[in-house]
Amino acid sequence: MALPGLILLAVILIAVFYVIFIYNNLVSLKHAVSKAWSNIDVLLKQRHDELPKLVEVCRQYMQYEQDTLEKIIKARSAVMSAQDKGDIKGLGQAENALRFGLGNLFALAENYPELKANNSFQQLQARISQLENSIADRREVYNEAVNLNNVRIEQFPDVLIARMFNFKDFDLLEFTEEAKRDVNIRNLFNT
């Protein structure tokens, strides 16, 4: 084989290995997003299991706050529905409603000394607060993985490989600014 043929073969081999390298990196990023989502999914399911217990404990004491409890139950269902559908934007909206409802519930519990003193309520409140913090931490990891994936599939030359093999971008899991703010307790009791 002549020298030009060897050079051409070397260039082709380098190009093939480069395509394989990019493809493997894109696959790693895609799986990092899936892994990060799985971590959130586990925490959402754990919180999902704790919420009915919290609502039941509160129901025993908070006879006049049924509307707040119903909103939490409805928001919990919306979270699970969005989660089952893989609807990240819908999940973010449902999470906003659930976080707001939980904030209201914990604020309203201040008016019920017997409830606040209840050991089950204290444990459930602590457990749900811990899960909320873990979800927030995992959301950061998920959004970082999504961002890395989305940037890579838009960069040249990765965009060529991403399009060739149909790599997709992912949605960020975002909460509204209102959902991230502390609950205004005064407003709850002035209505």
| Domains by residue range for the chain, with CATH | 32-172 (1.20.1440.20)
Alpha helices (H) along 153-181: 158-164, 177-180
How many Å apart are CA 70 and CA 47, to the nearest integer? 17
Given a cut of 60, is residue 115 above it in pLDDT? yes
Quick one: pLDDT band at residue 187, thresholds 50, 70, 90?
A: very low
pLDDT higher at 184 or 116: 116
pLDDT in tens, 133-182: 999 899 999 999 999 999 999 999 999 999 999 999 999 988 765 544 44
- Give every CB contact of residue 104 below 8 A, 6+ residues apart in sequence: 68, 71, 183, 188
pLDDT in tens, 22-43: 999 999 999 999 999 999 989 9
Task: Please name the residue that has the structure tokens 């020298």.
Answer: 3
The whole-number average pLDDT for the span 50-55 is 87
Per DSSP, the three-state class of 37 is: helix
Given a cut of 80, is residue 85 above it in pLDDT? yes
How many Å apart are CA 23 and CA 3, to the nearest integer? 30
Q: Look up residue 129 and give its two tokens.
A: 């607060």
How many Å apart are CA 175 and CA 95, to the nearest integer? 7
The whole-number average pLDDT for the span 19-24 is 95
Quick one: pLDDT band at residue 1, thresholds 50, 70, 90?
A: low
pLDDT for the residue numbered 5? 86
The whole-number average pLDDT for the span 116-128 is 86
The whole-number average pLDDT for the span 41-68 is 84
Task: Please name the residue that has the structure tokens 């960069």.
Answer: 155
How many Å apart are CA 90 and CA 142, to the nearest integer? 16
How many Å apart are CA 100 and CA 118, to the nearest integer? 23
Among 65, 58, 189, 69, which residue's Cα sits nearest to residue 116? Answer: 58
Quick one: pLDDT band at residue 189, thresholds 50, 70, 90?
A: very low
In total, the chain counts a number of residues equal to 191
